[in-house]
Structure 1
Amino acid sequence: MAARFTSPTIVYSTPGLQTGHTNFTTQAEIHNWLNDQATALSRSVGVKAALLPMGSSQQGQPLEALVLTRGTGTDPASLLATGRPTVLLIGQQHGDEPAGSEALLVIARELAQGLLQPLLERINVVIVPRINLDGATRGEALGAGGQDMARDHLLLSTPETQALARLSRDYQATVVVDVGEYQVSDIYQQKFGAVQKSDVLLQYSSTANLPEFLTKADEEWFRRPLLAALKGQGLSTDWYYSTSADTADRTVSMGGPEPVTIRNVEGLKNAISVAIYSRGAGLGRLHLQRRVHTHVTAITSILGSTAQRAKDLSQLRPYLDKEVAGMACKGQAAIEVANTPAQYDLQMLDPITGVDKSVTVDWESALALRTLKSRVRPCGYWIAGSSKVAVERLRLHGVKVLEVLEPSAMLGDIYRETKRAGIDKQEGAITNGRPAPKIEVLLVRGVIDAPVGSYYIPLNQPLANLAIAALEPDTQSSFFTNRLVNNLAGIARVMSEPSLKSEELP
């Protein structure tokens, strides 16, 4: 088995990859490393780099990002003024997945001092090598409060995911890359008599209401060149997949369609978004150089594709923003979707001999989503003034929110709860340690009284699809299910363009 995962010819060097090092790069070492790269790059004429404070982790550790650009400054306005696409690279959402973080340190050095620096002629790059500082300190997947940050990108319940949302919003990232590692699990041997083979599992955005052209760009402009780059290095790939712990359940699923992961949420912001997971979680330092090499190869491909498609990307985002905004009050919007059942030949390894073993599995595909529930797309949503936390989270995402300045009446659909049931703790949303309720609703057409201080979220804006994901109440991931909106009477669908005196929240 070990012979299938040989070390690459190149030897990578970061503090955590030094010979004899028993741990991974510490946060203090990451800070010093990034600071050194910013200093080195700033010596080059016309190139700027800076270490950007993003806030603090739940246990008070400083969150930081490295910004690299050939522009007048490293603030958001300066990067936007370059007209170049910005790539946001994020590592270690799970604290026990270190290879991506180590690889991002290598990428930072190559951009600042090495062979990747010429790419800054055509792109800007923002790097967050490690976002789950507290989990990494303990060597555990979850954050200090027990949250799974990888599934918190719609609700933004942690300071870490809030910092990432703010960074993405302010720098208007065109391409977002999540680098992590997947769990090498005994469950596959128990179910299929085989073990996972792929050096890396890949997936782009796959959730409801994504623009068709965004998915085409994900596949044609990014994934296909990425597959070629990995194959050229002798690295095996597959779609991202997982399976349940139930040995009787032989279904294998591609990444879920829920709008909770960063790849799906950034897709709802009309950004190219790719998840790259190397074969490594649970392996400690085993095959570490190969795992880092896998990430360096993949990230280099993404950066190269962004540079090559810089002109196309500068046209894509405004086109998608206009397309999404133009859909307000028209047609149908998917409220709940699911993967599509299929058969798939999973390429795995025999656990005894290490030879290739193809296993045909029941496969839940995210490439063709089934619509379970859809509704007429509203013109916007009304939210009661008491739901200030929900409004704050929407604004962190960059959603346009208007505050009502004079009492108004709007024609809309009011939600009426018809059924309520608890959600299994292993499957449903969890708020305050309790399973959140799953509800069914009936829409009742009526007049919405909008008092002063309540809010209107218009859907004639680029982030309309994200607003739908957050505000339709009867889904597992919604703001209502997760108690950011406490009262079903405090939210309604506005079905005709309202006439109201309002101002946009800054």
Structure 2
Amino acid sequence: MLVAPARADSTPAPPRTGFERSGGARWTTQPEEQELLARLDRDSRRVAVDRIGSTGQGRPLQLVRIGADTPPDAAQTARGSSVLLLCSQHGDEPSGRDACLSTVRDLAYTQDRATLRFLRHTSVLVVPTANPDGRAADTRGNADGTDINRDHIALRTPEARAVAAVIRDHRPDLVYDLHEYGPTAPYYVKDLLSLWPRNLNTAGPVHHEARTLSERYVRPAAGAAGFSTGIYGIWTDPVTGEPVKQVAGDGQERILRNTAGIKHSVGLLVETRTDPLTEEEQADPARNNRRRVHSQQAALAGMLDFTGERRHRIETATTAARLAGYADRGPVYLGGADNEPAAEEQILRDPPCGYRLTGAQYAEVRDELALHGVRSRPAGDGAVVPLRQPLRALVPLLLDERAAYHLAAGRPVPSC
């Protein structure tokens, strides 16, 4: 298992998070987070902390870049192996954030040979708090009340725009999204749940790696640490373990794990249970909080093991998916999921060559297209957005009027 906080005698003592100092009695505050990140940026030669945007209330959105010897730049991460952690998109789900902060600290100070060897081959990117305004208010949404995890297509929020730019510029091979959920006894009470991209536009090999990450690494790692696990969004019979009802986890393209899959990253959503179920946790909230964070940390260790062991398979899958768009072949799906076949009217079996946008339409969506990394070319007073490009399947989801969350109703261009 990777990530050991061992250090050489000549290095400064690793700082502790507010959560750790309190024994889990409280979450790390935002000033404590800023102090921690500033110290890592100063003390560790392998860490850099960048400001990648600002929230509606002016709080910083930050990206931590971690390498073996020096922080990797975008060119290095885009052409090599890299993972991106998104922590606390929902401001009232803090356990993933504290797990991310302690992981960043451990990677910054470790002298463990296996971990350093891992960092020589794989860059780690972390957005420690993806929703600072929501975290400050302890709300699911951001300052405007918007659920950021439903904004990864429209990109109306500054938080989602910052994440889109990171994915565009760094092209992470894996996007790992940390959340929490409220249980429904007795059907939905596992300590930790996970789910891969269900969107049907996720390339087959990328989808396979995402399921492998969930089923063979993240859940087993959490289980080995003593935590119960399951699949997010599926209620199960507590006796037989058979599925009872699907309550979440569809193929919506605007949800980050699905957006990541469409953009050819191995996406995974991980959720830890918020509510105490044992008498001990009910009597001691800090005990419950520690269980929430420790289950996230165990799952993160499984993710790092997955990346280290399957790096070449992952890179092969994501690279092939990005190149496949240039061939411009195959259907595009406007609906459905890997466990729910798309209706015939949701399948573009013979997609157009591209979509033509008027000048007014292009002015309205050009920034969002650029943030996604979708290419366009001038045409009259507007533009044409071709499908023949790496993000081929994303184009109809953004511009076909039949897509559920389209940004503009472009006119299909039948032939190139």
Q: TM-score, normalised by structure 2?
A: 0.85
* Match of residue 291 from structure 1: 292
* Match of residue 438 from structure 1: none
Give distance in 1, aligned partners of 2:318 and 2:68: 21
1:262 maps to 2:256? yes
One-letter amino acid matched to 2:106: E
* Match of residue 309 from structure 2: 308
Secondary structure of 1:473's partner? Answer: coil
1:134 maps to 2:128? no
* Match of residue 389 from structure 2: 461
Q: What are the within-5 Å matches in structure 2 for residues 269-284 of structure 1? A: 269-280=263-274
Is the 1:99–1:292 Cα contact (8 Å) retained in structure 2?
Answer: yes
Give distance in 1, aligned partners of 2:101 and 2:139: 20
Aligned in 2, Cα 1:242/1:221: closer, same or farther, shift over 3 Å?
closer
Deviation at 1:20, TM superposition (A): 7.0
Mean CA deviation greater in 217-226 or 28-37:
217-226
Is the 1:96–1:281 Cα contact (8 Å) retained in structure 2?
Answer: no
* Match of residue 377 from structure 1: 351
Give distance in 1, aligned partners of 2:367 and 2:159: 15
Deviation at 1:316, TM superposition (A): 2.2
* Match of residue 372 from structure 2: 397
* Match of residue 240 from structure 2: none
Equivalent pairs, count? 381
* Match of residue 386 from structure 1: 360
Give distance in 1, aligned partners of 2:295 and 2:414: 49
Q: Which runs of 5+ in 1 are unaligned?
A: 1-11, 43-47, 244-249, 340-365, 405-451, 480-484, 498-506
Is the 1:92–1:129 Cα contact (8 Å) retained in structure 2?
Answer: yes
* Match of residue 60 from structure 2: 62
* Match of residue 407 from structure 1: none
One-letter amino acid matched to 2:343: T
1:148 maps to 2:147? yes
**1:381-420, CA deviations, whole angstroms, 9 ceiling, x for partnerless residues?**
111111223221111011112122xxxxxxxxxxxxxxxx
**1:84-143, CA deviations, whole angstroms, 9 ceiling, x for partnerless residues?**
311100110111000000000111011111344442122001111111111110111111
Secondary structure of 1:393's partner? Answer: helix
The Cα RMSD (Å) is 2.3
Is the 1:104–1:127 Cα contact (8 Å) retained in structure 2?
Answer: yes
**1:171-225, CA deviations, whole angstroms, 9 ceiling, x for partnerless residues?**
11111000010123xxx35xxxx26321111001111322112111212355312
Aligned in 2, Cα 1:22/1:70: closer, same or farther, shift over 3 Å?
closer
* Match of residue 91 from structure 2: 95
Give distance in 1, aligned partners of 2:360 and 2:199: 30
Which of 25, 31, 34 is the aligned partner of 2:34? Answer: 31
Give distance in 1, aligned partners of 2:342 and 2:23: 51
Secondary structure of 2:212's partner? Answer: helix
Give distance in 2, aligned partners of 1:371 and 1:195: 30
Is the 2:358–2:383 Cα contact (8 Å) retained in structure 1?
Answer: yes
Q: What are the within-5 Å matches in structure 2 for residues 41-56 of structure 1? A: 41-42=44-45, 48-56=46-54
1:493 maps to 2:412? yes
Q: Which has the larger radius of gyration?
A: 1
Q: Greater helix share, 1 or 2?
A: 2
Deviation at 1:333, TM superposition (A): 2.3
* Match of residue 108 from structure 2: 112
* Match of residue 212 from structure 2: 220
Is the 1:229–1:298 Cα contact (8 Å) retained in structure 2?
Answer: yes
* Match of residue 201 from structure 1: 193
Give distance in 2, aligned partners of 1:150 and 1:220: 23
Identity of aligned residues (%): 26
Deviation at 1:19, TM superposition (A): 2.6
Is the 2:220–2:302 Cα contact (8 Å) retained in structure 1?
Answer: no
Q: TM-score, normalised by structure 1?
A: 0.71
Aligned in 2, Cα 1:106/1:117: closer, same or farther, shift over 3 Å?
farther
Give distance in 2, aligned partners of 1:263 and 1:106: 23
One-letter amino acid matched to 1:120: L
Secondary structure of 2:194's partner? Answer: strand
* Match of residue 17 from structure 2: 14
Secondary structure of 2:56's partner? Answer: coil
Q: Greater strand share, 1 or 2?
A: 1
Is the 2:263–2:391 Cα contact (8 Å) retained in structure 1?
Answer: yes
Aligned in 2, Cα 1:257/1:138: closer, same or farther, shift over 3 Å?
same
Give distance in 2, aligned partners of 1:210 and 1:391: 24
**1:254-296, CA deviations, whole angstroms, 9 ceiling, x for partnerless residues?**
4011101110001101110100110017997561111111111
Aligned in 2, Cα 1:232/1:108: closer, same or farther, shift over 3 Å?
same
Aligned in 2, Cα 1:208/1:471: closer, same or farther, shift over 3 Å?
farther
Q: What are the within-5 Å matches in structure 2 for residues 239-258 of structure 1? A: 239-241=231-233, 251-258=245-252
Is the 1:102–1:292 Cα contact (8 Å) retained in structure 2?
Answer: yes
Deviation at 1:304, TM superposition (A): 1.9
**1:347-373, CA deviations, whole angstroms, 9 ceiling, x for partnerless residues?**
xxxxxxxxxxxxxxxxxxx53533352
Q: What are the within-5 Å matches in structure 2 for residues 320-469 of structure 1? A: 320-326=321-327, 328=328, 330-337=329-336, 366-372=338-344, 373-375=346-348, 376-387=350-361, 388-404=363-379, 452-469=380-397
Give distance in 2, aligned partners of 1:204 and 1:281: 24
Q: Which runs of 5+ in 2 are unaligned?
A: 1-14, 236-243, 277-281
Aligned in 2, Cα 1:141/1:160: closer, same or farther, shift over 3 Å?
same
One-letter amino acid matched to 1:390: V
Give distance in 1, aligned partners of 2:331 and 2:316: 26
One-letter amino acid matched to 1:495: P
